Structure formats: C-alpha cells, structure tokens
Amino acid sequence: MKIETLHKLFLDCNTICTDTRKVESDNLFFALSGENFNGNTFAEEALIKGAKYAIIDDKNYKTSDNTILVKNSLKTLQELATYHRNYLGVKIISLTGSNGKTTTKELINAVLSKKYNTTATIGNLNNHIGVPLTLLSMTEQTEIGIVEMGANHKKEIDFLCKITQPDFGYITNFGKAHLEGFGGIEGVIEGKSELYNYLMSNNKHLFLNADDPIQKDKLSNYIKKFGFSQNDSNYFKIKFLGAKPFVSLNIENITIKSNLLGEYNFTNICAAAIIGKYFNVDLLAIKKAIEGYVPTNNRSQIIEKGSNSIILDAYNANPSSMEMALKNFSNQNKDNKIAILGDMFELGDSAPIEHQKISNLATSLKIDNIILIGENFYKSETDKLKVKQYRSFEDFKTNYKPIKESALLIKGSRGMALERILELL
C-alpha cells in the first residue's frame, strides 16, 4: 500500500495505537515487534477491541480487509509520520541534549502555547517509535510542534532528524550520558551535534546557549541562529539572579521567579524564553508561563513527607546531572541534609571511575549523610563514617531505619526506581 493511501486511512482514524491494552474505538493499530514478542499476534485482538485497521508485516496474520500487510510495520510508522508532518506543513522545533531535554521541552511548550496551538512530545517518548507517534499526534490545528529527541549512540539523532525534518533546533548541553553507546564524551558531542549538522545542511534556524563554548564554537560561522548569553552582547541577554532554592532571572528588566531548583535549570528556562521571544510571544506571557510551570514525574519535584523535605529527582541520572544536583543540594540552607543516590546506568567501562568520582564529590560537599544504592556505588571506596552503601534497593529496604526531620535529595537512574523510597519515609 502506498504511503499516501495509508495516510488517508489514518486520517479516518482517531489516533495511533501500538499497545492492545490501550486500544480504543477507531484506532489505527500498528503491530510493532520487539526482541521478545511478535506484535503481529496482537493484531486480531486490536480489531476485536475496536481498532479500525491493524498494520501488520507478517502475512500469516492477515485475517480480513482491515488487516493491512506492509513490509515492515516500524518503518511504515516512521514513513507515515514524515508524510503526515509534510502534509500538515507545521513548524517543528526539535531538541536534544544530555540533560534537561524533557524539562526544556515542557518549558518551551508552556511559553509557546501562550500564543500558539502547540503539540509536544508526551513525557519522554523521544526515540525511533516515540518521535513518529509525536508527529502523528499533530493535527491541522497544530501551529508549532515541539519534538524531543533522545539518543544513546551516534547516528540516532541524524536518523530522527530525517523522520522529523525540523525547521528549528536546540541542544541543551553535552554531558556524560550514555557513554557506553557513544564511546566517551567526544562521541556524545558528535552524536548530539547531529541535530545542528542537519539544520545547518538544510539552511534551517538554530537556537543556542552562547555561554556554552562547544555550541558557540560549532555555530560560529552560521548565520541563522538566535541565542542567549549572560555576557556576550551579540546575543539576547538574560541575567541569572540566583537559585535559593528556585531559579530566578532577569529579562529586559522583568524578573522571573521559577519553580525549578538549581542553577542547572537556568539555561533550560533561558532556552524557552528566547524561543518565545523569537516567535513574538509577549514577555509578560513568557513570565507567566515559566512561573506557572511546576515540575512533575520525579524531575526535581519538591515533596513534603512527614517531617522530611524531599527533592525527588529520580527520573534519570548520569555523572553530569548527578554532579549538578549534588552541588545544588549542598548549597541549600537546610539542616540534616541526606543524599540518597542510586547507580547511574549505560556508562560502560567508565562506570567504576564515574561512580567513584560522584562518591568523592558527595563526601566533599556540605551534606551530612550519604546513602549509596546499587552495585557500582557499593564498590566505591568511601568515608564509612559519612556514607552507607547498599548493593541493591532490596538491601537498603531490609536495613532501612526511619528518617525524620531531614532534607533529602533522591537521585538515580530510571532503572533504580528510587521513588520507591517515598513509601518507606
């Protein structure tokens, strides 16, 4: 079936679905397979539950005219997304980076939605499946699409750019994330820069943090750029006023007080602000959007639990984000500060040294007690008077002693699921 024909069928459906547990009436179901399952086996169930059509790539499961056979279901989903993106002609902003992607995306969406009808990536559906689903969620009412792109190896961002075909782009930063897949920090820089490379090769617009020497150097000779800086008068000036504990800043003599913790969130806010300025959103509307944004989903959430004050930042972690979170926590004027840290994943051969560095950093800061959870942190050499180490969450849970009247930072990689600690407090 030609992609334009499939697109007409898609327009006759209400949305895309890839999970039979979430099928609704008149869905277009895509049978996507994984390492341990064959998605085609669910096609008939999807139709029974109300899906209008089911896209399959195994002829053995074609049971009716409503099952549409293609060569590859995933590739067809991606091609349909690109076709739909061009059919709508919507302006697309893509962003990637090692840290802060989702927060920055949410801030950009909050700002631009003050003036435009926007559609943004839901949660962090930012991979080879999530990006197409984001594009296919856009409608004729969408004026600006905001697409988050994640990657753990080179050429992945380039691939996602070819699907999305963005008109604008921003990279939050280059940090020590997914070192195993990228092959080190230089690989991270090369891989994330694929967004800027795509945009420059297609003469598109770029947004940048001009105080980031990597970004500034890479884009020094490119004309179509709009950036922010605290010091360089060639770029839009935004002044950092502090983070005690929430970030505040000044733009054109207007003070913005956010609900975001830590100096590391300053550039995320700046990106949203300058993108708003570029798209002619009124500055007071930008202020209202930023001040109204409250983080959720385990990302720097402030939680009061009993007599404890908690910073829950357990959605993900890498050496760069861990360092920033610890330094911010150390600077807070709180009594009895306890950092509970979980292992950082996807670091490959760098894992032992990176976990040791974070252990050393934590013990050097103004933090009263440190709890390390996970195989890698368990192997770190530490100050036994200040640090307690547990091989697993179960080990920690078994030996847990009540924590009261404390300020806590809880941070670790998604696989550690450290939000479970809240049940113990």
Cβ atoms of 375 and 343 closer than 8 Å: yes
Q: Would residue 84 count as lying in a domain? A: no
Q: What is the pLDDT of residue 174?
A: 86
For residues 412 and 424, what is the distance between their CA atoms, to the nearest angstrom? 17
Q: What is the pLDDT of residue 46?
A: 94
Are 361 and 321 in the same domain? yes
Cβ atoms of 41 and 15 closer than 8 Å: no
Q: What is the pLDDT of residue 340?
A: 97
Q: What is the pLDDT of residue 282?
A: 97
Q: What is the pLDDT of residues 120-154, one digit of tens each?
A: 999 778 999 999 999 999 999 999 999 999 988 88
For residues 198 and 188, what is the distance between their CA atoms, to the nearest angstrom? 16
Q: What is the pLDDT of residue 208?
A: 95
Cβ atoms of 253 and 213 closer than 8 Å: no
CATH number at residue 116: 3.40.1190.10
Q: What is the pLDDT of residue 320?
A: 87
CATH number at residue 349: 3.90.190.20
Are 167 and 276 in the same domain? yes
Q: Which ranges of the chain have pLDDT less than 70?
A: 177, 297
Q: What is the pLDDT of residue 244?
A: 80
CATH number at residue 45: 3.40.1390.10
Nearest to 103 by CA among 170, 154, 178, 200: 170
Q: Would residue 143 count as lying in a domain? A: yes
Q: Would residue 43 count as lying in a domain? A: yes
Structure-block tokens of residue 240: 């950092």
For residues 227 and 229, what is the distance between their CA atoms, to the nearest angstrom? 7
Q: What is the pLDDT of residue 225?
A: 94
Cβ atoms of 322 and 411 closer than 8 Å: yes
Whole-Å CA distances, 249 to 169, 260, 268, 281, 367: 23, 12, 12, 18, 27
Range of the domain at 177: 89-292
Domain end point (choices 72, 104, 125)? 72
Amino acid at 95: L
Q: What is the pLDDT of residues 243-270, one digit of tens each?
A: 888 999 999 999 999 999 888 899 999 9
Going by their DSSP bridges, the two strands 369-373 and 239-243 should be labelled as: unpaired
Domain end point (choices 46, 72, 98)? 72
Are 279 and 305 in the same domain? no
Q: Would residue 77 count as lying in a domain? A: no
Are 144 and 203 in the same domain? yes
For the chain, the domain total comes to 3
Number of H helices, E strands in the chain: 16, 20
Are 283 and 305 in the same domain? no
Q: What is the pLDDT of residue 173?
A: 87
Q: What is the pLDDT of residue 410?
A: 96
Q: What is the pLDDT of residues 52-73, one digit of tens each?
A: 999 999 999 998 899 999 999 9
Q: What is the pLDDT of residue 196?
A: 94
Q: Would residue 82 count as lying in a domain? A: no
Q: Would residue 191 count as lying in a domain? A: yes
Question: Could you give the dihedral angle defined by the CA atoms of residues 276, 281, 282 and 288, in that order, rounded to the nearest 10 degrees?
Answer: -60
Nearest to 284 by CA among 314, 252, 312, 307: 252
Going by their DSSP bridges, the two strands 118-120 and 144-148 should be labelled as: parallel
